[in-house]
Amino acid sequence: MLEVYEEELSRARKALESGNIEVCFGHLERAHVLSQRMTSRHTHVHWLMLVAGWSRGDWREVIGQVTRMLAPILFSRLWVPRGNSGRARVSAFKPMPVPDDLRHLVH
């Protein structure tokens, strides 16, 4: 699972560097699904989402990620909405479908 998580982060960083923010977010969303139960990795994904939102000038995303960076510290080990993408446009409490290719990695 950690290997797939790191691959998603690597792809997200490459997309961010090339200015392809939507592709970046797609990879960060997948990394978010994988990291929800791991506090530091979960928080790191939200930080990268904040950076991506900032680079696009998406203030809703930036503000949403600031609050979401606190949530993993408090809740990662207690409860997470399985499959949630982590984006600011989605309720932080809404469970979402886990992508088929990640389902076997998410408990």
How many angstroms from the chain centroid is the CA of residue 71?
Answer: 12
How far is the C-alpha of 27 from the C-alpha of 22, rounded, in Å?
Answer: 9
Q: 36 is written with which tokens?
A: 């929800």
Q: Where do the domains of the chain lie?
A: 2-105
Question: Each residue of 60-71: pLDDT tens digit?
Answer: 999 999 989 988
Question: Each residue of 20-54: pLDDT tens digit?
Answer: 999 999 999 999 999 998 999 999 999 999 999 99
Q: What pTM value is reported for the model?
A: 0.93
How far is the C-alpha of 49 from the C-alpha of 86, rounded, in Å?
Answer: 8
